[in-house]
Every structure is written in C-alpha cells, then in structure tokens.
Amino acid sequence: MNTVRTSFFPSGAPQLLGPYKLLRRLAHGGMAEVFLARPLEAPDDSRPIVIKCMLPDLPSDPQFLAMFVNEAQLAAQMHHPGIVSVLDFGEASGRLFMAMEYVEGLDCWRFSRRLSPWGEDHAAMAAFIVMNVLEALEHVHNLTDVNGLPLGVVHRDLSPSNIYLSVEGDVKLGDFGIARIDSSRYRKVTVIPKGKYGYVAPEQVGGASVDARADIFSMGVVLAELLIGKRMFAQPNQLSTLVDIRDGRLPTLDRNQHLVEAGMLSILHRSLARFPNERFESATAFREALRSYTQRSMRLVTKDDLAALVRRALTIADSKTSMAAGHSGDLTPLSQEATGREVAGSHGPIIRRLTPVTAVGRSNLPFNAIQETPALADDFETPLAEDGTPITAQDSEDAAMWTYVVQLRDGGKLGPTSYANLIELIFAEKVGPDTLVSVRQGPFLPLSAFPELVRHVPPLTPHARVGEFLDPLAKGDFADEPPSAVALGLSERRFSGLLVVRRGSMRKEVYWSDGKPVYVSSNDPAEMLGEYLLARGAIGRVELNTALALLPKFNGHLGDTLIALGLVPAVELLRHIGAQISERFAEVVRWRQGLFELYDNVACRPDVVQVELDPFSSISSILLEQTSGQPMGHGRWAACATAMIRLGATAKERLDRLSLPRELAIIVRRLREPMRLSEMFAIQSDLFGEENVERALFIAFEAGIWRLEDTTLPWRERNTFSRE
C-alpha cells in the first residue's frame, strides 16, 4: 500500500529554500509538498507566491521525476494570462522545486459545489468559464519548439479541480504534470491520476494515442458538470466509470438533459462524442461554437460577474470556517500547522484542514478558506474499502481471520480455508450457492448469503443448471459445426444471449449482445483474473496474496481491491480484463471438440466488465494464425476426398466480412456450385499451390463458408462426453 512520505521540512519557524522563505505548508502528498512563500528580498506585505517542492526520495522514481521536470520545462514556454505561471524552477537543499504565482480564489469544483445553482445566468457563466479555459488550451495546443515545429501538447488531466477562479474574475488553467508532449526534450509520462478517470477521453481508456481532441472531451465533461451540477460519470467503482467512457455512454447527461437548453445540449454531445473525429476539431472550434450560441441565446456575462460570484463563494466558506473552528482565515505559519484527518466522501478521501490554503499546481486546494479537499493520486493515496473506510495495516492482519468452513453434501466438512481457496472451489464447481458455509466460526448459512462469495457464482453456470429452467434455442457438436462457424452465425443474426460450450469438465460461457461477444466466463481456476495478471507480470505473488486477503472488505471484487490498494492502475486493469476476455474467446474458437448450447435473451450480471469484440476480425486473425506455416498435408484429406463441398447459406457475405488475404479469398470464392473435395483440391492446387489451397480449405470449412456433406472434417473430433 502507498504511504505518504515524511516531509523534508519540520514544523517550527519559517524555513528557507534557496532564495525563498516558506511561510506555511499548504499540502503534503505522495509527490510533493506545497508551501506559501515569499522571495527573501521581498517585503513582508508583498503578494506571496507558491512553492511546489518534490519530496526527497522521488527523484529516483522516473515517472514522478518526469512529471515534475516536464511541468517546469513546459511552463517556461507557456506565457498566457489563462495559465498558472511558473516563476522559477531549480534545486535547493537537495530538493527540486517550482515557484508559481499565487492566485487568490478557489478552484472550479468548489466554486460549483458551494454556489450551484448560480441564478438565471448559470448556463452563461458555465460557458464563460469553459470558453476561458478553451482559450488557454488554444495557446497550449499550438505551442511550437525553437524550430517552429508543433510540440503537440495535450494536457490529459483536465478537471474542475485544475481550473482556478480568482477574486478578480480570472480563469486560469494549471497542472501540466502528465501532459503529453511530442518532443525528445521532454520525458514520457504514462500515468493517469487516480480520481481523474471521470474526465479522461475514450481513446485514453482504450490505450490509443491521443491528440488535442482528448482535451476537448475532458472540457465537454467539465461543461456538462457545471451545467447540470452533477458528476458526469458517477459509477460506484472506477472500472465501471471507465467502461461507460470507453463505450460512449452518458447516463447522467441523458437523465438530466432537461436542465440544458437544446442548442447547448447539441454542443455538449459533439464535444463528448465517443470517437475523436466526431468531436470539435480544436479548442478554437469548441470555443467559437459556445461563443456563437451564448451571443444568440443568453445574456453575456463578464469577468466582473464571475469575480462577484467567486467572492461570494469565499464568503460562504469563511462563514462556515468561523462557525466550525473560529478561525479568522489569516495565514498560519509552519509552527502552527494543523494535523489533518481523513474521512470518506463522495469524491474520494477527504483531507479536513483547519488552515487557509491556496490552489496551484497539484495542490488542488481552494484559496484563503477552510475546506474539505478531495485527494488525488499523487497527493493522498489512502485506499478505501467498498464501505468507504480506509484500509490500514491492521486490516491486513485481520484478513487472516477471514476463514471459512464448508459443509459438504456427504456430511463432512472442509476447512478452515481462506477466502481465496474458497473462490477456487467455486470456480472448480465443488461448491455452489446452496452449499452451507461458516465464516469466522459463525453459523452455517447458504453460500448465497455471503455477498463476497456469491458474486463469484455467475447467474448461469453449472451451479445454476441453466437447462433446468430454460430450453436451449439450439444444441450442437463442434464436430458438425465448428466454433468459428457458430460464432459468425450468431454475429450475422445479431444474437443477444448466452452460448455455453463444454468439453469434459471444462465449461465456458460466452455472453452476446447484438451480435458481439461481450464477456466470456470460465470455470477453470487457472483462468481467474488474479492468475491472469500474475502470469503477465502485472502484479507479483505477494501483491496478489495481499489483495486476495482483503477481498472480503470489497465484497469479493478483485478489480476494486487492486485499484484501491494502488497495485494496478484502473486503466491498465481494464485493458488486461479486455485482453483476458479476448483470449478466452479465442480459446473457444480453437477448440477441436466440444458441445454447445444457445440460450436466447440471457444477459450477464450487471457488475461484470464487458468488452465488445468484433467476431469477424477476431476469428479471421485466429484462423490465419492457425494455418500460418503449418500445412496439413494432402494426405489428411484422403478420408473425405469423395465428399461433396457445398456453399454455406451466407457464404459470399461471410467471406467479404472476414477480409482474408487476396489469394486465399480468390481460392474460396472460386467455388460456385457443389463439387467433390478431391476435384476442388486438384484444380486449385495447380493454380495456387497446395499449401495455399490447404489454408483456404481449412478457413472456409471452419468459418462455415463451405460445408462438407455427411463427413466430419479430418481435424475435428466428435465429442466423447454426454450432453446431459
């Protein structure tokens, strides 16, 4: 688990850092400390500045070092009134630091939280704020290097907490620590801060390259939240949030679109388009659309209007401060610094402080007001359990107490056993929802009474015996209809439901939605998510065991546990889950024998992370891989040489959608009427070579483009296990 590092600076009298006097620490997190400061030569009544100081042990961490240095280097090239200025950068007392302008005011998230709704001009004010940020982004996106070549800067971390509103009505954009920059002078940064997943673009979630249009999406989210006063992506866990973004779902906006005028709603939908080429092509185009609409439809608000609202927000905060703590709001020196405590909140861990603070860079704290501050990934990384309580070292010790005893059907007992071992028993079909279980020496209850256990029993598995309450739409044997042909047929029919496949004790369930596989479950313990991540080096065995021990605190959600403990970033985890589903589907396609059953209109449970697969693209790649460099040999066809080949019902359309290499497609396409296999083989081999013909035959039969009459394909084996 991540811990907050000890400050380099002890409490006491004001400290010196190079040419600056540090007046008070404003924030202390996993990456840096933030101080209110003044230059040594400046008079005491001069405007303070802010010093962001990297923690002493971080320069050896390449990601944190890259973030810090990139932000400083980029700031040297950004000179715009709408961007928080970095005044100085250097090293002193062995610490890297940045000196930044002090902006008196508060960030956009707290502004909206304290004042919303803002009155009749609410929508116009939201547009005014966003237009100012977009103007700053125009400057950022158009930056060039010394040779005039575009730097291709993408902020990648836009959110209301990085937009600062001053008491003068200024709107300033800050925090460029994870910006993507196309220049060898800058270091590559791949991290996405925890707590910011609700603002990343779909292409970021998918791991694709990003450009300025990713920032357009993020600003669309900010505008939507300012307009409707609600978080756009407010799913109960981060994986669900990322799936909504990845799939282009906007449930919060859909439910609250009555709060947004039709013209503004149209602008929002374009900025939030799932695919970059459907969004505004630039910050300039987005800003122009907002400017044009507000001029036609709204009273134009001004900088003075915003300044009045910011002062009002600070007054509200000062009033709460006075009642809660009797604090005057004056600056507090280091010697009087309060100790914060963490409580659960709707936006993550909250740091409650009794001192006035500022917000620049990564501090994300409001100015000159007591506040409750949502922590970010590199600032405060206390993991929370599903019930909102912090995970502590004691929890790891207590996890050993989560032991289970299982009452077996023959009257015997199994255990005490660990949570992880019991989950393996569920996957191995040795226990089911009716099995009696005792936890921590408690009473024996059905396994279904334990939320952390029952979630590992999918609604339709061997335990549920789907055939007992549903009649299958169809049954079959892969010896008669290969899995590729079955899957492609389901795609063509735009099937929604469940494909159950069995081979001996192995069982997989492929869930389909509108002709696409979206989830594949398996009863093989070796295919559990933890083992999958371990095999691919995403986590180590010790880390996995730690997560497994704490699973009961997360109702059995391994993904949520890994994310909360900081063991696997949510975006990376989502990609691994997608790859695992794709690999499970590919394994089914490769089966040489097995039985299948189809059940119509059966959906997987809602908390499962689904990944849409393109069956035609996936199966084409798998079939080509199976035939590449592995000729079957003409002799393999001897047993069925006299069998007739016939075209499948959707042969032409299926072949077109598979997009095979040209030569293989020509071979397959040459069959226009029934023909004996030996005749087809002889004719085609003379024209295209035996190896190419063998590859084409294999693909055509496996995909169901051709059918071999009354004969089992030579590489297919009839299932030797009963259907019942």
Enumerate the H helices of 55-121 as residue ranges: 62-75, 108-115
Distances (CA, A) of 45 to 37, 41, 261, 329: 12, 12, 47, 16
Q: What is the pLDDT of residues 272-291, one digit of tens each?
A: 999 999 999 999 999 999 99
Q: Which two tokens stand for residue 454?
A: 């029952």
* Cβ(589)–Cβ(510) below 8 Å: no
Q: What is the spatial distance between Cα 652 and Cα 704, in angstroms, rounded to a whole number?
A: 11
Q: What is the spatial distance between Cα 574 and Cα 241, in angstroms, rounded to a whole number?
A: 11
Count, residues in the chain: 724
Nearest to 453 by CA among 414, 413, 422: 422
pLDDT attached to residue 495: 95
Within 8 A by CB and 6+ apart from 393, the residues are 1
Nearest to 359 by CA among 317, 323, 404, 296: 317
Q: Which two tokens stand for residue 466?
A: 């789907």
Phi, psi (5° rounding) for residue 165?
-115, 125
Quick count: other Cβ atoms within 10 Å of Cβ 463? 19
Read off the pLDDT band of 685 (50, 70, 90). confident
| Residue found by looking up tokens 């950068």 in the block | 89
pLDDT attached to residue 148: 81
Nearest to 696 by CA among 648, 660, 643: 660
Q: What is the pLDDT of residues 493-543, one digit of tens each?
A: 999 999 999 998 888 999 999 999 999 988 887 888 889 999 999 999 888
Phi, psi (5° rounding) for residue 250?
-125, 60
Q: What is the spatial distance between Cα 435 and Cα 446, in angstroms, rounded to a whole number?
A: 5
| Residue found by looking up tokens 């501050």 in the block | 373
| Residue found by looking up tokens 């997190």 in the block | 29
Predicted TM-score of the model (pTM): 0.69
Distances (CA, A) of 402 to 434, 529, 543: 20, 21, 18
Average of pLDDT values for 173-181? 69
pLDDT attached to residue 377: 29
* Cβ(96)–Cβ(61) below 8 Å: no
E strands within 674-722? Answer: 675-676, 706-708
Higher pLDDT, residue 566 or 312: 312
pLDDT attached to residue 47: 87
pLDDT attached to residue 289: 96
pLDDT attached to residue 327: 29
To the nearest 10 degrees (0 to 180), the angle between helices 662-669 and 677-688 is 140
Rounded to 5°, the CA angle 493-499-500 comes to 160
Within 8 A by CB and 6+ apart from 722, the residues are none
pLDDT attached to residue 191: 52
Q: What is the spatial distance between Cα 385 and Cα 346, in angstroms, rounded to a whole number?
A: 13
Average of pLDDT values for 225-229? 93
> 97, exposed or middle or buried, with CB in 10 Å at 0-12, 13-18, 19+?
buried
Is residue 424 helix, strand or coil?
Answer: helix
Q: What is the pLDDT of residues 464-487, one digit of tens each?
A: 456 566 788 999 999 999 999 999
Average pLDDT of the chain, as a whole number: 78
Q: Which two tokens stand for residue 257?
A: 């679109």
Q: Give the distance between the most distant pair of CA atoms in the chain.
A: 100
202 pLDDT above the threshold of 70: yes
Delimit the domains of the chain by residue range.
15-308, 400-600, 615-708
Read off the pLDDT band of 336 (50, 70, 90). very low
Continuous segment of H or E residues that includes residue 286: helix 283-297
- Whether the link from the prior residue into 459 is cis, omega within 30° of 0, is no
Average of pLDDT values for 346-374? 27
* Cβ(353)–Cβ(370) below 8 Å: yes
pLDDT attached to residue 345: 24
pLDDT attached to residue 317: 56
E strands within 559-655? Answer: 595-600, 644-647
Enumerate the H helices of 493-614 as residue ranges: 529-535, 541-549, 558-564, 570-590
Is residue 153 helix, strand or coil?
Answer: coil
688 pLDDT above the threshold of 50: yes
* Cβ(263)–Cβ(295) below 8 Å: no
Q: What is the spatial distance between Cα 337 and Cα 681, in angstroms, rounded to a whole number?
A: 85
Read off the pLDDT band of 372 (50, 70, 90). very low
* Cβ(105)–Cβ(165) below 8 Å: yes
HSE of 458 in the Cβ direction (CA atoms, 13 Å)?
27
Task: Give 15-308's CATH code, choosing from 3.90.1010.20, 1.10.510.10, 3.30.460.80, 3.40.120.10.
Answer: 1.10.510.10
HSE of 332 in the Cβ direction (CA atoms, 13 Å)?
23
587 pLDDT above the threshold of 90: yes
